[in-house]
Chain A
Amino acid sequence: MADGSGVSGVALAVLGGAIRISTPFLFVSLGECLTEKSGRVNLGLEGTLVMGAMGGYGVSYLSGSPWLGVLAAGFLGLVLGAIHAWLCGRPRVNDVAVGIAMMLFGVGLAFFLGKPLIGPTAPHLPSISFGFWSSSPQVRSALQLNVLFVVGLAMSGVVLFVLRRTRWGLILRTVGESADAARAMGYDVNRVRLRATMAGGFLAGVGGSFLSLFYPGSWNEGLSSGQGLMAVALVIFARWDPIRCLYASLLFGGASALGPALQSVGVTSGYYLFNAAPYALTLAIIIATSSRDRALVGQPAELRLAR
């Protein structure tokens, strides 16, 4: 490791880490993007993520098929999203607070049900090697792309298409911009938001299954370190645009990978400070993009979170 341990080694490790770590960010932020476009915030996606990780791992372990696990994780997310949407549909119920409650509930339930899953090994998701052209093992390991990341890439395009080019996307955006207008046009605002939140929950659940079925690749209680929450902030940063969600996820993944990458080449001082990098970056970006007087570009007008 005389040559590869320099700057290029760190850069490659950050790139590989960015792709690995960004996948859950990508799925959760796409889900949150859908939900927020309908004018509602789901802060509970952290709970959905952890629940998806637990459920995906459990089903993969029991059935032997990681893909069934991914599906189960998405389904769990769908159910949690439905609960969130139903609660928020009641009058006088605060969606931010419900999100916090769902986060506590989802994380608690996942830890409760996942207790027996700490230890056994479940079959993992396969990965596709895009680094075959290179002889360098570092390049190869950096380009060892997970299937879910590829799915996520496609998903960001799909979400963009749905939002911009389909009737359902139009209705969803109408509800997000003006609930009154949507109501006047005869749409059931709560039902549209229910569907958007359920779809968002599905994506977040799938993102969670990545954590337990690929990287880090096992179920334990320290699996998520607030990725679900950071994804919410990330959507603000991405200005509610699915493609920008992809870029932002990669950026955040890179920031998260910085500490471990530096550690792997022997830079250990300040390791814990580097752990704070994604959070500090998120905060800095929100501060830079927020404004006291005007709403952000692209922000759904019904959204209460980012004034």
Chain B
Amino acid sequence: MPVTLGASVDPKAAGAPALPVVARPPGGGAMPPPAPPVDRGARTAPIVEVREPLAARLVGAMAAPTMAICSALLLFGVFVAITGRNPVAVYYQMYRGSFGTWFSFQNTLLRAAPLMLTALATALPLRLGLVVLGGEGSMVIGGLAAAAAAMAAHNHGPNGLKLAMLLSGALVGGLWMAAAGALRAYRGVNETIATLLLNYIAIALLNHIVEGPLRDPASLNKPSTPPIGDVNMLGNVPGLDVHWGLAWGLFACVAAWVLMNRTTFGFAARMVGGNVRAALLNGLPVGRLFVITTLIGGACAGLAGSIEVAAIHGTANASLVTGYGYTGVLVAFIARGNPLAVIPVALLLGGIGASGGLLQRVFDLPDATVNVLQGILFICILFSETFNGRAPAFLRRAARPEAKTAAPAVSGGGG
């Protein structure tokens, strides 16, 4: 993978591999499916996963979510019409406020960047069958850790300080969520509820620390940690009005995809997600996989928090509680846990978020309008799961003219 590591990821270098990876012919460099050890004679063909051509797989994977997004937009249109606004006009303004102009598109990118990272926090554990909602908590605690690290590393120069912020944010955010993963693995505690509770605890901790121990005496009406200083802020990607967090988000999505789809770790993780019992019988360390995956996911969300501090606020305060964590859950579910799919979905939801302000100004719609649309979208996406693998059959056939010869794919697990 020609992905450059390190702090100075060029957006093109990080973004470019995304396309070749998608367009890569199936099977090339892929991990070979495990050959069945014994042929018991009764079976005439060995169990191998028959991979469909990429176009067919893409269509198959995208048909249900696309239909769900369309029906959600339709339902939201009806909702808007009931409140007495013209849905077409609302959609036009939403387009203008998200992708229509260069200015609004940059606003969309600005919102999509943290969403990519918080979505990974849910998407990676989702591949193991864990429903984790802790992106918000990890993001908040990561931002807090970044601000604390900035105070500790203030005499190590701008680069050392930035590195300290990003690293400590990712580490603390990762550990915060890994706690839930470990509780699930070794104590059987439901991870959904544990991460939700950890979110509230993280927010209380943030409030406590910015009000007390780390409070900057100069911050009067909005208690904050001392500002990290303008020289130490994360700059913008050249040519854009968007900070480097976007590059980090893109890089993390691609790296997560490689991890989950092109490594033994990812293979083991997906096997656990398919069938925990089978994974245990095969001797996979299920508990350790839970912990490591939640650690990586939480690290992504923690990174999002430290980027919010390092690039936008310059200090840790209550503005860290953005709701990006919860929107990230939605992104992860629409992307069906696929890290590469997270990128376009994060752009879509970032766009919806970015258009909220315009809806408020032009149509006098409350700011919760965006939340209503997100809720409808989420419900439609989950509902579309019921059609998954059934409705798109005709579409898949259209994308695969030579399909008649292929044997029906045998895939393991109950995914």
> B-contacting residues of A (Cβ < 8 Å)?
43, 83, 87, 90-94, 96-98, 100-102, 104-109, 111-112, 115, 225-226, 229-230, 232-233, 236, 269-273, 275-276, 279-280, 282-283, 286-287, 290-293, 305-307
Contacts and interface: CB of A to CB of B under 8 A. Distances in A.
Interface string B54-76: 00000000000000000000000
A240 to B, nearest CB: 14
B201 A104 contact: no
A93 B380 CA distance: 11
Interface string B362-385: 000111111111111011011101
Given A96-B131, A290-B183, A290-B187, 8 more contacts: A97-B131, A100-B329, A111-B367, A115-B366, A226-B200, A229-B193, A287-B183, A306-B190
B364 to A, nearest CB: 10
Given A272-B204, A275-B204, A287-B183, A92 B386 contact: yes
A111 B204 contact: no
Contact of A92 (B187, B366, B385): B385
A265 B301 CA distance: 39
Contacts, number: 143
Interface in B190-208: 190, 192-194, 196-198, 200-201, 204-205, 207-208
Interface residues of B, number: 47
A111 B366 contact: yes
Looking at chain B's contact residues, is the secondary structure mostly helix, strand, loop, or mixed? Answer: helix
Contacts of B196: 226, 229
17 contacts: A87-B379, A87-B383, A97-B131, A100-B192, A104-B378, A105-B378, A108-B368, A108-B373, A111-B366, A111-B368, A269-B212, A270-B208, A273-B204, A275-B207, A276-B200, A276-B204, A279-B200
A88 B370 CA distance: 24
Contact of A93 (B183, B372, B376, B383): B383
Nearest to A274: B204
Nearest to A273: B208
Nearest to B200: A279
Nearest to B378: A101
A279 B197 contact: yes
A112 B205 CA distance: 29
A83 B369 CA distance: 20
A108 B385 contact: no
What 7 A-B pairs have minimum CB-CB distances, sorted nearest first?
A105-B375, A108-B371, A111-B368, A276-B204, A101-B378, A272-B208, A272-B207
A87 B386 CA distance: 9
Contacts of A306: 190
Looking at chain A's contact residues, is the secondary structure mostly helix, strand, loop, or mixed? Answer: helix
B140 interface: no
Nearest to A99: B192
Nearest to B381: A101
Nearest to B211: A272
A286 to B, nearest CB: 5
Contacts of B197: 229-230, 233, 279-280, 282-283
Contact of A305 (B190, B200, B330, B367): B190
A106 B372 CA distance: 8
Interface string B383-411: 10110100000000000000000000000
A307 B200 contact: no
B214 to A, nearest CB: 13
B188 interface: yes
Contacts of A282: 197
Contacts of B183: 287, 290
B187 A233 contact: no
B102 interface: no
A98 B188 contact: no
B190 A286 contact: yes
A96 B192 contact: yes
Given A100-B329, A233-B193, A290-B187, A93 B382 contact: yes
Nearest to B212: A269
B204 A98 contact: no
Given A97-B333, A100-B329, A305 B368 contact: no
B103 interface: no
A94 B386 CA distance: 10
B326 interface: yes
Nearest to A230: B197
B194 A104 contact: no
Contacts of B205: 272-273, 276
A305 B189 CA distance: 9
